[in-house]
Structures are given as C-alpha cells and as structure tokens.
C-alpha cells in the first residue's frame, strides 16, 4: 500500500473508445459490434473516428497543460494493446500509450490510467464476456502486460470504470454493449468485474509495490419524490445494487443481505470459496464518479420482473427531472455530491482517500464562439461551479477527498447517445476535428489557479483560447 499525497490533484478525464478513433489500429470490441446494431446508438454514430485523439494527442495534451491540470485520467483500449484480448501484445498499440504518457509527463501532467472503460475485445464476449468467469484471467494478464510496458512511468492505476454500468446497462438493461437483457448474467458480470479487479490489483501490486491502485465507481443517492409506499420500498434495493454491492464487497463485508435477496439466485454456482477475499484486496484509493442523484416515483403499473435495468425497480420509475435538467435529462443535484462524499467518509473510510474521477454535464452548446473565440456554455459553468462548491463543502467537513477530474476534457462519443451529447470543456467539431475551448474551460482553469495547487503552465496558448 502506498500513501498518496495530501496535496489536492486537479485533473481532466476521458476514455479510450470515446475519443481515440483510429479504428484500424485496434481489434474489434463489443462497442464496435453494438454500434452496428440498428437503433442501438441514437444518432447512428460509432467509435471509428470520434475525436481522432490517437493522431491529435499532442494538441490535446497542450490544451490540458494550458488548462493547468496536474493529472489526466485516460483509459487504455484493451483491443488496441491486445487485439483479441489474449496472447501477444501489439507493439504498435502499446506504442501509442507510451508516447501519450511521455507527452503528459513532459507537460508536467501525471498519467492516471484506467484499464477498463467498457470496450471489451469481442473475442472475449464470444466466450460470455463479463458474465463468464473465463474473462478474469485474461483481464489480469492484460493488466500485467500494460503495467510491464508503462509501469516505469504510470503510478496511478484504476482497474474498472463504473462496473455498475458494465454489468447492469450492458447485461441487465441492454442499453450498452453487449446489449443483453438478463438479470442473471448481469449479476454474474457484477461478480466477475469485482473479482477481476481484486485479482488484478494483487498481481499488479506484486509487480510494482510503489504504485497506487483503485477502482472507479459511479455512486449516487436515491431519493423518493413522492410518498408512495412502493417508492419508499424501492429505495434500499436501488441503493443495494447500485452502491452497496460494490462498496461492501470491496470493503471486505461481502455482498449486502438486501442485495442478496435480489441477486443470490443468479449467483448460484458463480462464487467460489475465496472470491470475496480476493475482491477485498486492499486498495489505495477509491475513484468516485458523480453526476446526479436518482429520484424515483411510483410508476402507474408494474414492469415484469427481469424487464428493468436492475432488480427491485418494478413498481417505480425515474421522476421527471424538471426545469434545469442537463441535455442528458439528468437533474442538477450538487447537494447530493456532498452527501455521497460524506457517506464514503462515514461508512467506507477503509477504501482509502477518495478521488472524484469524473464529474461534469452535457448541454446543447451554441457552436458559435463569442468575440474572444470562446464557446459560451453558461449552464456547464454553473454546474461546474456548484459542484466545486459542493466538493469544497465536503473537504471543509473533513472528508478525505484528494482530487477532482472534470468530465470531460473533450466533447466525445457518449455511448448509446453517440456524438449528440457534449460533455467537453473543449468543443470538438467532429467534421474538421477543430478544438475550441469553452467558457467552462476558462472557469475551471481559474479555479485551479486560484486553488494554489496549479502546476506552472507554459505560456503557449490553447486552441481558441
């Protein structure tokens, strides 16, 4: 275990499939296949080009350096470095990350590497994907191979990004790749994602005891917007599957009893003696992705069991977010951000200091820059500032939170919503690949500079700044 610095880390985050492009340079993933399913991605776009980051990473690192961030969270595309998810590593694929890491370090930016952000090599899906235990060994091999190539310079590792999404959107609701709707498979995927995390951390730590290891969870608070008994009854089940299954298992408490009420039949035969101990391999930090709280209300009828994204939600639905919702139709709930941070401190301190590894918002930006060449995005600025205040509140109360990564550096491929939803601090014109900074980029830059922990930025100007 390593001790992470107490100085606050300011960063920006992205993920491989969402920005890299260069489809020819990697193997096929479940998301490539999913994008070809008619209607699966709302605007019919795919991950073939997106932000063309593989060819433009130098410009993107320059934009980050000018922003003043001290850290960049990115993910490695498994199929770029190991095209079929097993066997030989691609020197070309690893070469890209090698150059990226050097470029970052040269700009004074620390690389924070996530191993898995949802782009599973399709060959592994043919063997069952995360629903099969057969994926666990390949994931550990992949982790060790990437670490062997980059571990001399990369010292911050996250295994999985938002495994709830990988399991429940991918195998439960069928909204994400691989597009399966089966609660039994989603439950097994939950277990295998966790198991692969614990085994990879243990193996990587053996290879490099000086690096820090963690996992990134998307957590939220669930609130009732009405006083119906069915809504109140659904809250613990939501919290169990969304939040506590992951947190409790990682903290060595096993799966929570109320989650097992819903999931145990599906886990039958999937858990092996010793798994829970491996899942609870100690971590050095916990990554928190926070966007908004979930607000539930009673539904008119009852959805058949197995037809909801996760179990226990048969008699409720997500409440209308009301005025001020983001372009994702997500409510803006900064107070919930403070609450999640407080909860982690109060209930899960053994998972180490928290790093907010994603927080941000999508809005329908006006693409015409103002006179100074900046895209005006007042709603994103307000969201950012409200959440930075909520973060400061938690810190003031003594929550051990040591970093914040804005999602996202660039407009990018927003999964089943394609290129239509823009989360970036920097606008990307997907026709020309031109990058133009938004007002939120300036707001974040000023916040970092004012915090006194900014890295000394070079004088060169960012795109459109």
Q: Annotated catalytic sites, by residue?
A: 162, 358
CA dist., res. 70 & res. 360, Å (int): 18
CA 196 from chain centre, in angstroms, equals 17
Report residue 62: phi and psi, to 5°. -65, -40
Tell me: does residue 414 bind ligand IFM (CB under 6 A).
Answer: yes
Q: Which is nearer to ligand IFM, 46 or 162 (CB)?
A: 162
Q: Is the dihedral of CA 276, 157, 85, 167 positive or negative?
A: positive
Q: Is the dihedral of CA 185, 181, 286, 235 positive or negative?
A: negative
Measured in residues, the chain has a length of 465
Binding characters for ligand IFM, 346-365, by CB under 6 A (x = yes): ------------x-------
Q: How far is the CB of 124 from ligand IFM (least distance, A)?
A: 20
Q: Which is nearer to ligand IFM, 266 or 427 (CB)?
A: 427
Tell me: does residue 448 bind ligand IFM (CB under 6 A).
Answer: no
Q: Hey, what long-range contacts does 169-175 have (CB within 8 A, 24 or more apart)?
A: 169/309, 170/30, 170/118, 170/129, 170/130, 171/129, 171/130, 171/131, 172/308, 172/309, 172/310, 173/308, 173/309, 173/310, 175/309, 175/416
Task: Return the residue of 116, 164, 348, 407 that touches ligand IFM, per CB under 6 A.
Answer: 407
Q: How far is the CB of 210 from ligand IFM (least distance, A)?
A: 28
Q: Which is nearer to ligand IFM, 187 or 289 (CB)?
A: 289
Q: Which is nearer to ligand IFM, 97 or 407 (CB)?
A: 407
Q: Which two tokens stand for residue 459?
A: 């004088």
Whether residue 192 contacts residue 135, with contact meaning beta carbons closer than 8 Å, is answered with yes
Tell me: does residue 103 bind ligand IFM (CB under 6 A).
Answer: no
Q: Of 10-29, which residues contact ligand IFM (CB under 6 A)?
A: 15, 18
Q: How far is the CB of 409 from ligand IFM (least distance, A)?
A: 12
Question: Which residues does residue 294 pair with via DSSP β-bridges, in sequence order?
Answer: 222
Tell me: does residue 293 bind ligand IFM (CB under 6 A).
Answer: no
Tell me: does residue 294 bind ligand IFM (CB under 6 A).
Answer: no
- Total number of residues that touch ligand IFM (CB under 6 A): 8
CA 174 from chain centre, in angstroms, equals 18
Q: Which is nearer to ligand IFM, 14 or 187 (CB)?
A: 14
Radius of gyration of the chain (CA): 21
Tell me: does residue 289 bind ligand IFM (CB under 6 A).
Answer: yes
Q: Which residue bears the tokens 């199929």?
A: 79
Tell me: does residue 217 bind ligand IFM (CB under 6 A).
Answer: no
Q: Which residue bears the tokens 């057969």?
A: 134
Q: Which is nearer to ligand IFM, 218 or 231 (CB)?
A: 218
Q: How far is the CB of 18 from ligand IFM (least distance, A)?
A: 6
Instruction: Point out which residues bind ligand IFM (CB under 6 A).
Output: 15, 18, 162, 289, 358, 407, 414, 423
């Amino acid at each position: 275990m390593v001790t992470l610095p107490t100085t606050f880390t300011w960063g920006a985050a992205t993920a491989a499939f969402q920005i890299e492009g260069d489809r020819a340079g990697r193997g096929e993933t479940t998301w490539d296949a999913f994008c070809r399913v008619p209607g699966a991605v709302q605007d019919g776009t795919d991950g073939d080009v997106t932000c063309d980051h593989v060819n433009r990473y130098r410009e993107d690192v320059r934009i980050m350096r000018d922003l003043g961030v001290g850290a960049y969270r990115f993910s490695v595309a498994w199929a770029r470095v190991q095209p079929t998810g097993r066997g030989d590593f691609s020197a070309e694929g690893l070469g890209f990350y090698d150059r990226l890491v050097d470029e970052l370090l040269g700009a004074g930016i620390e690389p924070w590497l996530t191993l898995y952000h949802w782009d599973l090599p399709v060959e592994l899906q043919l063997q069952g994907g995360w629903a099969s235990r057969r994926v666990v060994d390949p994931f550990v091999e992949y982790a060790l191979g990437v670490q062997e190539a980059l571990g001399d310079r990369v010292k911050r590792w996250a295994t999985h990004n938002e495994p709830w999404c990988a399991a429940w959107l991918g195998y439960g609701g069928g909204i994400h790749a691989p597009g399966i709707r089966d609660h039994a498979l989603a439950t097994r995927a939950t277990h295998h994602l966790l198991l692969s995390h614990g085994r990879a951390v243990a193996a990587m730590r053996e290879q490099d005891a000086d690096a820090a290891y963690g996992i990134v969870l998307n957590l939220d608070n669930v609130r009732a917007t009405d006083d119906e008994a069915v809504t109140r009854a659904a809250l613990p089940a939501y919290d169990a599957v969304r939040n506590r299954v992951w947190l409790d298992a990682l903290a060595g408490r096993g799966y929570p009893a109320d989650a097992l009420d819903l999931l145990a039949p599906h886990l039958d035969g999937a858990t092996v003696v010793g798994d829970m101990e491996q899942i609870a391999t100690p971590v050095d930090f916990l990554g928190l992705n926070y966007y908004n709280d979930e607000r539930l209300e009673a539904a008119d009828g009852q959805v058949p069991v197995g037809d909801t994204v996760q179990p226990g939600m048969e008699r409720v639905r997500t409440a209308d977010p009301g005025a001020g919702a983001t372009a994702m139709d997500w409510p803006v709930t900064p107070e919930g951000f403070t609450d999640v941070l407080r909860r982690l401190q109060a209930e899960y301190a053994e998972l180490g200091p928290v790093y907010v590894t994603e927080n941000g918002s999508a809005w329908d930006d006006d693409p015409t820059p103002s006179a100074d060449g900046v895209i005006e995005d007042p709603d994103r600025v307000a969201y950012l500032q409200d959440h930075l205040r909520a973060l400061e509140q938690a810190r003031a109360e003594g929550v051990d939170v040591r970093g914040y990564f804005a999602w996202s550096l660039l407009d990018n491929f927003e999964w089943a919503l394609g290129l239509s939803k823009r989360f970036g601090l920097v606008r990307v014109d997907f026709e020309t690949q031109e990058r133009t900074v938004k007002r939120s980029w300036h707001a974040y830059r000023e916040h970092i500079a004012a915090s006194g922990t900014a890295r000394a930025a070079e004088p060169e100007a960012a795109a459109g700044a």
